[in-house]
């Protein structure tokens, strides 16, 4: 079984076992598990084969956005990443085109039709992630009624995938608390307000010109919701990348990986490689290591990773090689990933021949950025509705920024309904901007000169919004400019006659694991260094010999572990103490855990041709077909669509449209010349009977919990 049964951060709750059938064979799922996760947990990665060319199909987004994961559930095609396993469910692969189910022709069909319910609500919030929940709480506090809908089976959005402590401001957005725990707090708050209703597994399908929102409730009941105000907090979808082998099962989004590992506790791979050095890719690599999965390497096309340097450094120190100015050339294998080939690129991002390398892996994570899920907001504005957007649906940024923009938008929504919310402080808008900001300057690391007593060394040297270390020192020795928490914190050796006591609170709370504590009191020649680690306590033991590294992952030497401390107050952050020569003790920032051999390249690199590059995953249209049309003068995506079927598939053009635009760019066609296809009104596939309110023989409620 491919399940995680121990994790340094995530609780492993007991879950009832649920038998279900896969191709007639009985397998076991866990309660509350999606079909795709249950299949992965049983070692099944291929969910069917494409009707066009027989290519193996698996998951890509695990977020209901791409339709790659289609299976037949009791004979009905469903997205397996969105559908929960039910006891006795019969699941089959989709081999070729699904056949329409054999619906019994009832004598009087009209007797089976129900009226579609039309519900009026003051506020409809689409998306129960950090922004939606934060907005709802502000509304709840003011007695404003709101309905929150979310297509997942639990609230929290991407927060439920985050095991690390959050950056940002302690005061404003729970910085220093782990994402999974922030999700729990926000949900508890939402549930405490009687005016806030939640519909889970309920997806918005479209915003219509009569200002109604079509909602599919629990996959089987269609209702119209007419809100006075619509707030869209639907988050983001992952960008796709075009390269040969990009649709092999085993190539999927970093968010899908985090869903499998951190939400569903499934171990989908033994060895992975990552494309993209933004925060999503860096954090996914960290999550993999926490789950006991080897990370062979990470490529980033830019000369520097775009994510927070502390995330990058954490990964490098654990032993993951990070190749900047590199890109992926191909994922290799016939019906699953067996290796990845990467190359160095020049300053115009063109591959440099002779620099190719291949690495063995069974999974390739794509983490090349996010696009806002903003369609509902745009349509609502077009149809003259009072509508707001917050979080990633408004602008891609960190989840901490989404929490804060949600708070503000909650107040704005209340104000638009006539509630007196007072003035929304300018300071709040400024905080929102600070939390959204991209990483700033990287400065030279300041290593204190002292070699006596005990004191922390702050290894964070890039300007990012983050302040938890400044709130925990009992003697207030770590200071930050509260008007701009992007500026680096400073350690004061003494305040009011009090110095550092070595309590290690700052070491434990730093979200970037970028603070160590150096203690010269017992042995000035061989001081003790306390290093934070978010791995199981048993990973290291006193007496182990370990390689210690500087901030960026350069080895400094081999030292012995003196002690490993796991105390409740440190909230699952383990403190490892090593004794190291004073020559480099202050430079130590981390411990290498992953052996170097995990990153050895193959002896020869594996090549694939450009022809293999799929642009439209649903209809399996290759780059060459579209490029040829562009070269022949096509500028209208509708024409490309009609001639190739690109963007006509079940994902509703969500994954291929940006890639088609990229092909235009590669061919030198300016955006202004491209004619886009119209956005389809329905967000996902729905059985037609649902729109007619076709009764399914059971009295099923509207989804209120
Ligand atoms: S993997 Fe299920 S919709 Fe994308």
Of 171, 389, 180, 367, the residue nearest 281 (C-alpha): 367
Give the pLDDT score at 702: 41
Decide: 510 in ligand 1 pocket, CB within 6 A: no
How far, CA to CA in Å, does 492 sit from each of 458, 465, 671?
11, 20, 53
In the structure, what pLDDT confidence band is assigned to residue 114 with cuts at 50, 70 and 90?
A: confident
Decide: 654 in ligand 1 pocket, CB within 6 A: no
Provide the mean pLDDT of the chain: 92
Atom of ligand 1 minimally distant from the CA of 67: 3
Torsion of CA 333, 65, 22, 697, to 10 degrees: -160
Joined together, the tokens standing for residue 531 give 């290093």
For range 244-272, the mean pLDDT: 94
In the structure, what pLDDT confidence band is assigned to residue 248 with cuts at 50, 70 and 90?
A: very high
Atom of ligand 1 minimally distant from the CA of 36: 2
Asked if pLDDT for residue 704 goes beyond 50, the answer is no
Q: Could you report how far apart the first and last alpha carbons of the chain are, in Å?
A: 33
Grouping H, G, I as helix, E, B as strand and the rest as coil, residue 468 is: helix
Q: How far is the CA of 575 from the centre of ligand 1 (A)?
A: 39
Q: How far is the CA of 256 from the centre of ligand 1 (A)?
A: 8
Mind listing the pLDDT tens digit for each residue in 669-678?
Answer: 999 999 988 8
Specify which residues 149 forms β-bridges with: 126, 199
For range 526-537, the mean pLDDT: 97
Give the pLDDT score at 275: 98
Mind listing the pLDDT tens digit for each residue in 183-235?
Answer: 999 999 999 999 999 999 999 999 999 999 999 998 888 999 999 999 999 99
In the structure, what pLDDT confidence band is assigned to residue 652 with cuts at 50, 70 and 90?
A: confident
Rounded to whole angstroms, the Cα distance separating 287 from 295 reads: 10
**Cα angle vertex 637, ends 661, 63, to 5°?**
60
- Answer left, alpha or beta for residue 553, where phi above 0 means left and psi between -120 and 50 means alpha: left
Joined together, the tokens standing for residue 412 give 């704005």
Decide: 618 in ligand 1 pocket, CB within 6 A: no
Mind listing the pLDDT tens digit for each residue in 457-495?
Answer: 999 999 999 999 999 999 999 999 989 999 999 999 999
Mutation choice for ligand 1 from 39, 40, 81, CB with most ligand atoms inside 8 A = 81
Decide: 71 in ligand 1 pocket, CB within 6 A: no
Rounded to whole angstroms, the Cα distance separating 467 from 79 reads: 41
Decide: 67 in ligand 1 pocket, CB within 6 A: yes
Of 150, 228, 156, the residue nearest 414 (C-alpha): 228
- Answer left, alpha or beta for residue 205, where phi above 0 means left and psi between -120 and 50 means alpha: alpha
Mutation choice for ligand 1 from 48, 57, 59, CB with most ligand atoms inside 8 A = 59
Q: How far is the CA of 322 from the centre of ligand 1 (A)?
A: 28
Mind listing the pLDDT tens digit for each residue in 380-411?
Answer: 999 999 999 999 999 999 999 999 999 999 99
Rounded to whole angstroms, the Cα distance separating 198 from 373 reads: 20
Rounded to whole angstroms, the Cα distance separating 241 from 656 reads: 9
Decide: 535 in ligand 1 pocket, CB within 6 A: no
Give the pLDDT score at 695: 52
Decide: 37 in ligand 1 pocket, CB within 6 A: no
Specify which residues 25 forms β-bridges with: 22
Q: How far is the CA of 94 from the centre of ligand 1 (A)?
A: 14
User: DSSP label at 211?
Assistant: S
Interhelix angle for 399-416 vs 179-191, to 10°?
20
How far, CA to CA in Å, does 33 sit from each of 20, 150, 316, 607, 701?
12, 17, 33, 38, 22
Q: How far is the CA of 131 from the centre of ligand 1 (A)?
A: 23
Asked if pLDDT for residue 299 goes beyond 60, the answer is yes
Decide: 269 in ligand 1 pocket, CB within 6 A: no
Decide: 65 in ligand 1 pocket, CB within 6 A: yes
Decide: 655 in ligand 1 pocket, CB within 6 A: no
In the structure, what pLDDT confidence band is assigned to residue 701 with cuts at 50, 70 and 90?
A: very low
Joined together, the tokens standing for residue 272 give 């992975």
Rounded to whole angstroms, the Cα distance separating 175 from 297 reads: 29
Of 489, 533, 688, 658, the residue nearest 65 (C-alpha): 658
């Amino acid at each position: 079984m491919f399940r995680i049964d121990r994790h340094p951060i995530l609780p492993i709750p007991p879950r009832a076992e649920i038998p279900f059938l896969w191709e007639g064979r009985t397998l076991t799922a866990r309660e509350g598990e999606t079909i795709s996760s249950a299949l992965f947990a049983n070692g099944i990665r291929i969910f069917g084969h494409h009707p066009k060319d027989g290519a193996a199909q698996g998951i890509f987004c695990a977020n209901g956005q791409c339709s790659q994961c289609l299976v037949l559930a009791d004979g009905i095609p469903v997205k397996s990443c969105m559908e929960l396993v039910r006891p006795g469910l019969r699941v089959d692969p989709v081999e070729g085109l699904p056949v329409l189910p054999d619906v019994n022709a009832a004598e009087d069909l009209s007797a089976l039709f129900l009226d579609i319910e039309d519900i009026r609500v003051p506020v409809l919030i689409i998306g129960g992630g950090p922004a939606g929940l934060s907005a709802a709480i502000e509304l709840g506090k003011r007695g404003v009624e709101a309905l929150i809908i979310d297509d997942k089976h639990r609230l929290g959005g991407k927060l439920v995938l985050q095991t690390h402590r959050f950056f940002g401001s302690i005061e404003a957005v729970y910085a220093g608390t782990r994402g999974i725990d922030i999700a729990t707090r926000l949900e508890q708050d939402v549930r405490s307000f009687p005016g806030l209703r939640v519909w889970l597994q309920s997806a918005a399908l479209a915003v219509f010109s009569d200002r109604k929102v079509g909602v599919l409730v629990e996959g089987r009941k269609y209702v119209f919701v007419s809100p006075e105000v619509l707030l869209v907090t639907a988050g983001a979808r992952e960008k796709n990348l075009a390269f040969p082998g990009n649709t092999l099962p085993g190539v999927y989004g970093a968010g899908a990986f985090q869903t499998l590992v951190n939400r569903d506790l499934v171990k989908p791979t033994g060895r992975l490689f990552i494309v993209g050095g933004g925060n999503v890719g860096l954090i996914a690599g960290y999550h993999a290591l926490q789950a006991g999965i080897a990370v062979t390497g990470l490529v980033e096309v830019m000369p520097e990773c775009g994510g927070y340097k502390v995330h990058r450094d954490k990964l490098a120190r654990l032993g993951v090689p990070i190749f900047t100015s590199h890109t992926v050339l191909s994922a290799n294998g016939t019906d699953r990933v067996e290796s990845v080939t990467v190359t160095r690129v020049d300053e115009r991002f063109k591959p440099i021949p002779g620099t190719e390398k291949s690495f063995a892996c069974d999974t390739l994570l794509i983490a090349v950025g996010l696009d806002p899920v903003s369609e509902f907001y745009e349509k609502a504005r077009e149809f003259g509705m009072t509508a707001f957007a917050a979080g990633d649906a408004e602008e891609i940024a960190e989840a901490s920024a989404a929490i804060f923009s949600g708070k503000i938008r909650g107040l704005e929504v209340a104000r638009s309904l006539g509630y007196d919310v007072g003035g929304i402080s300018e300071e709040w808008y400024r905080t929102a901007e600070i939390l959204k900001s991209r990483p700033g300057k990287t400065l030279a690391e300041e290593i204190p000169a002292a070699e006596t007593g005990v004191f922390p060394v702050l290894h964070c040297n890039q300007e990012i919004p983050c302040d938890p270390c400044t709130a925990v020192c009992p003697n207030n020795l770590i200071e930050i400019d509260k008007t701009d928490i992007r500026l680096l914190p400073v350690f004061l050796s003494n305040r009011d006659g009090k110095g550092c006591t070595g309590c290690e609170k700052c070491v434990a709370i730093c979200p970037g694991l970028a603070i160590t504590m150096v203690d010269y009191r017992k042995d000035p020649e061989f001081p003790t260094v306390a290093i934070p680690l978010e791995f199981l306590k048993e990973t290291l033991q006193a007496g182990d010999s370990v390689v210690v590294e500087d901030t960026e992952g350069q080895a400094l030497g081999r030292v012995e572990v003196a002690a490993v401390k796991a105390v409740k107050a440190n909230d699952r952050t383990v403190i490892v103490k090593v004794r190291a020569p004073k020559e480099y003790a202050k430079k130590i920032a981390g411990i290498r855990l992953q052996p170097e051999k995990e990153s050895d390249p193959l002896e020869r690199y594996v090549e694939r041709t450009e022809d293999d590059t799929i642009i439209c995953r649903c209809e399996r249209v290759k780059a060459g077909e579209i490029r040829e049309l562009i070269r022949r003068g096509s500028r209208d995506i509708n024409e490309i669509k009609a001639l190739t079927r690109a963007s006509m598939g079940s994902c509703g053009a969500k994954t291929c449209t940006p890639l088609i635009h990229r092909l235009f760019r590669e061919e030198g066609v300016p955006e202004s010349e491209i004619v886009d296809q119209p956005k389809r009104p329905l967000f996902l596939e729905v059985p037609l009977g649902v729109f007619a309110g076709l009764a399914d023989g059971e009295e099923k409620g509207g989804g209120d919990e």
